[in-house]
Amino acid sequence: MHAVILDAASLGPDIDLSPIERQVTQLTCHDFTATDEAAERLTDADVAIVNKVKLGAETLEALPRLRLICVLATGTNNIDMAAAERLGVEVRNVTAYGTASVAQHSLMMILALAARLPRYQDDVAQGRWNTSPFFCLMEHRTLQLEGKHLVIVGQGEFGSRVGKLAEGLGMQVSFAARPGADSGGDRRSSLAELAPTADVVSLHCPLTEATHHLIDADMLARLKPACLLINCARGSIIDEEAALTALREGRLSGLGVDVLPEEPPRNGHPLLDALAEPLNLIVTPHNAWIAPEARQRIVELTAQNLADFGLISC
């Protein structure tokens, strides 16, 4: 069986692909693949292994030999799932590979924003500590997390692990009801109900119609001005511009995001421009998941998907 990886570079140069190699007779690796190159590169493939390359209906229809698509991620939104099903192409993804990494990154953002790290780092860089009349700076009011209320949206692998870490800091943790769920089937309080008492809100839910701009101007108005907002889920779950306005106006105390609506943000984004301002703001480049252990786990889970599908090495 011939497998082709279209965007191997997305796993990083330090990852061992041998678990996948052992499951196929031939493995062809491309570091990067444009959408319009996919069909040609998959012509002789029985298996497509892909992370972010889009495989639409037209591409899939041009690949009669293709039997399986292995996605090197949890989301399958880059695959035309209806076309794959119609053509008899199975799609398998991987889950729970980066739980520890994402939870650690989320907690890092909570801790950093609570300590006003962006503000104090800027103060030090600007020489304000050097000219302080006494031994420390305390212009930016910090937040002691013990006893504070963390509201998490998404009680899956990521959200649950963040909750456990936060409880270790002495925080009170609540999980909001799943957005868009039938109110009769989910007895948890809604985010709107929990928002007024939240000291920190952390998002760990998928991007759906129900969660698009879940944190909008109205929801931001429900939060306490001292609240911290963390998004390590998907861009557009928050209305980033509304959140930035709230941060600038003092109606939000801190904002940390690891995701943007367009990635990479080739056309820029207001949050990136705002990093030059004196704000309690952190933006990281969708790298909450990138611990080497997590990326190697993707390879291992993909190899298992190949084995489960019945592919064996000769």
Residue 59 DSSP symbol: H
Cα-Cα end-to-end distance for the chain: 9
Of 228, 216, 211, nearest to 109 (Cα)? 228
295 as an active site residue: the answer is no
Question: Quick count: other Cβ atoms within 10 Å of Cβ 177?
Answer: 20
Residue 139, exposed/middle/buried by CB under 10 A (0-12, 13-18, 19+)?
exposed
- E-strand ranges in the chain read 2-5, 26-29, 47-50, 68-71, 90-92, 149-153, 172-175, 200-203, 228-231, 254-257, 281-283
**Pairing assessment for the beta strands 149-153 and 90-92 based on DSSP bridges:** unpaired
Q: How many CA atoms lie within 13 A of 186 on its CB side?
A: 15
Could you give the CA distance from residue 66 to residue 60 in angstroms, rounded to a whole number?
8
- What is Dmax (Cα atoms) for the chain? 74
Residue 46 near residue 68 (C-beta atoms within 8 A) = yes
Q: Is 286 a catalytic residue?
A: yes
For 126, the token pair is 């600007």
Is 157 considered catalytic here? no
Instruction: Identify the active-site residue in 167, 263, 277, 293.
Output: 263
Reference 155, options 124, 131, 186, 127; nearest CA is 186
Query: Which member of 234, 269, 295, 297 is catalytic?
Result: 234
Amino acid at site 154: G
Of the candidates 41, 213, 286, 300, the residue annotated as catalytic is 286
Structure tokens belonging to residue 9: 């570079």
Active site residue ranges: 234, 263, 286
